[in-house]
Amino acid sequence: MVQLVLLLLGVDYLRKRWRTLFVVGLLWLLMGVGVFIDALDNAIYFPMQFLAYLLLAEGIATLAVAWTGAGGQRILRYVKGVAVVLAAALILAGHHHGNFVLSMIFGTLFLADGLLQTVSAFVVRYPRWRIVLALSIVEILLAIFFFQPYPTHYVGTAPYCLGLGLAFGGWNLLWIALRVRAMQRIPLERKRTLHLSDDVIADPTIAAKSAEKSATTLTADDSLFEWDGPPAPDEKALTVHVWTPVGSARGEAQRTLIVDRYIAAVDANGVISTGHAALESPEGIYISLYPGVEIDRSPDEFGRTLRATRENNVPGVFQPDYATESKAWCESTTKVRIRNYSPERLGQFWDAYRRDLTYNLTYRNCSSTVSNALEAALEGAVGHFQGRDTGWRAFWRLLVTPELWVAAQIRKRAATMAWTPGLTLDYARALSMLADPRPFGWLKMARLALRRMMRSRRGWRQEAVDAADARAGRVSS
């Protein structure tokens, strides 16, 4: 999640605020260590009941807006909401049974994640896999710590998790603050910030309408611009094309839960379809990487092929444009369009990336290429908007937006295993909600509820007036 915050807010934005981030991170780190140590002696002074009610409110809010997500986003939102509500309920239940169940849940989660990352690091051998392997071993040790009753006989489970969460969160803030402080300043010629009327809207008449809309949407204190929906067909926007395994299969695919969504689909004739991903910009950039030679995918060579090592590199080829690719194959299954992006950063990325024609099945494939290009295009998109610094509101809004957690989980899984078209699709959807600010789901629901209440009240008043008129008519007659 730290990398995503740094990416979306941008170095210039965070460098101005590194001292505040450093102080807040240090306080969080100290609080986390204090809460963890406090729980070791079985005499807990931290108000856990208050924490439980906060978790309950956050879980209910997440479940209330989960329906606004799409695909894997919606599933991850529901999973997060249910998990938080369950944790709050177990903390409120307390006593031995609630604490024991909570310990088993956290231990199982740490163990499963640690084992998954250990296996993927050992098999895929991606860059920095040894570091991830060491961190996964730490996760397994934490799982063992939660499973065994010493020293508090499971009473300190919730404080342990809270302390670890605060400590890791504080460490991440410290890491961001120190990193952006040490980074070199971006040259002035690269500091051209995004202007909506210049870089996002193509047609002058549409730009004028957008300016009128921004005048009504932006308040005097320069509040964030929001769009209530994806870009219109006539708006200039970055497009992520995804051919899902099921949607791109030549015949009717045999449906398999999760596998055909994120890995591959098999049709009735036994033909395997893995899907594809590409990125298209209005400036004429089209990024679509294919292997230039056929890759051996036989079961005997499967384990070796998955390794992200040099011996599995093959020559690749970039497709010229979407029209050529879709005509030779088929139309993309799903498109994700994003308004708020930087054409300059995308162009710089593409100029450097296309010089290397290497293709690797797990480390440098079509999906990883699109995901890297998308991150380059969205660098600093949240920290600056319409040429203005968006202030602390952008930072806190980013932290409380559910899609940040969703995007971080997808990015973590893809980075430690492999990017697939399904993961790229969900990642692009999550980033689109972060780069193009939308009204919060619960605020949207509140507005809808108020509108319905107002319509109902007007209806009741009208019925009362009609009834009074009817009674008056009967009396006069």
pLDDT digits (tens, 9 = 90+) for 108-147: 988 998 998 888 887 777 777 888 888 889 999 989 988 9
Tell whether the model's pLDDT for residue 43 goes beyond 60.
yes
Clarify whether residues 59 and 166 are in a common domain: yes
**Residues with Cβ within 8 Å of residue 342, at least 6 apart in sequence:** 194, 199, 377, 378, 379, 380, 381
Range with the poorest average pLDDT among 81-90, 204-213, 374-383, 423-432: 204-213
- How far is the C-alpha of 26 from the C-alpha of 23, rounded, in Å? 5
- How far is the C-alpha of 197 from the C-alpha of 178, rounded, in Å? 35
Q: Is residue 246 domain-resident? A: yes
Identify the helix (H) or strand (E) that includes residue 237: none
Clarify whether residues 110 and 57 are in a common domain: yes
Clarify whether residues 89 and 176 are in a common domain: yes
Question: Which pLDDT value is given to residue 202?
Answer: 35
Name which residue leads in pLDDT, 66 or 363: 363
Q: Name the band, by pLDDT with cuts 50, 70 and 90, for residue 216.
A: very low
Clarify whether residues 153 and 199 are in a common domain: no
Contact 61, 80 (CB under 8 A): no
Contact 407, 354 (CB under 8 A): no
Tell whether the model's pLDDT for residue 215 goes beyond 70.
no
Clarify whether residues 199 and 327 are in a common domain: yes
Q: Is residue 407 domain-resident? A: no
Clarify whether residues 224 and 332 are in a common domain: yes
Q: Is residue 406 domain-resident? A: no
Domain boundary among 182, 205, 236: 182
Clarify whether residues 119 and 247 are in a common domain: no
CA distances from 277 to 53, 365, 372, 383 (A): 42, 9, 12, 27
Q: Name the band, by pLDDT with cuts 50, 70 and 90, for residue 23.
A: very high
Which amino acid is located at 248 in the chain? S
Phi-psi region of 205 (alpha: psi -120 to 50; beta: other; left: phi over 0): alpha
When pLDDT is averaged across residues 244-259 and rounded to a whole number, the result is 66
Question: Which pLDDT value is given to residue 314?
Answer: 86
When pLDDT is averaged across residues 179-193 and rounded to a whole number, the result is 52
Total of domains in the chain: 3
Question: Which pLDDT value is given to residue 335?
Answer: 92
DSSP characters over 63-117: HHHGGGS-THHHHHHHHHHHHHHHHHHHHHH-HHHHHHHHHHHHHHHHHHHHHHH
pLDDT in tens, 394-407: 787 787 777 888 88
Q: Can you tell me whether residue 364 is helix, strand or coil? A: strand
Clarify whether residues 203 and 346 are in a common domain: yes
Q: Name the band, by pLDDT with cuts 50, 70 and 90, for residue 224.
A: very low
Identify the helix (H) or strand (E) that includes residue 280: strand 276-280
Token couple for 131: 């570091």
Question: Which pLDDT value is given to residue 259?
Answer: 67
- How far is the C-alpha of 191 from the C-alpha of 465, rounded, in Å? 63
Name which residue leads in pLDDT, 399 or 370: 370
Q: Is residue 408 domain-resident? A: no
Tell whether the model's pLDDT for residue 386 goes beyond 70.
no
Q: Is residue 393 domain-resident? A: no
Domain boundary among 123, 153, 182: 182
Clarify whether residues 26 and 110 are in a common domain: yes
Q: Is residue 212 domain-resident? A: yes
Q: Name the band, by pLDDT with cuts 50, 70 and 90, for residue 311.
A: confident
Tell whether the model's pLDDT for residue 364 goes beyond 80.
yes
Q: Note the pTM of the prediction, 2 decimals.
A: 0.72
- How far is the C-alpha of 45 from the C-alpha of 107, rounded, in Å? 24
Clarify whether residues 153 and 278 are in a common domain: no
- How far is the C-alpha of 319 from the C-alpha of 386, rounded, in Å? 33
Clarify whether residues 325 and 430 are in a common domain: yes
Clarify whether residues 164 and 226 are in a common domain: no
Contact 167, 32 (CB under 8 A): yes
Q: Is residue 403 domain-resident? A: no
Question: Which pLDDT value is given to residue 151?
Answer: 75
Q: Is residue 117 domain-resident? A: yes
Domain boundary among 161, 182, 203: 182
Query: Is the alpha carbon torsion for 79, 82, 88, 91 positive or negative?
Result: negative
> Residue 226 sits in which domain range?
194-388+417-435
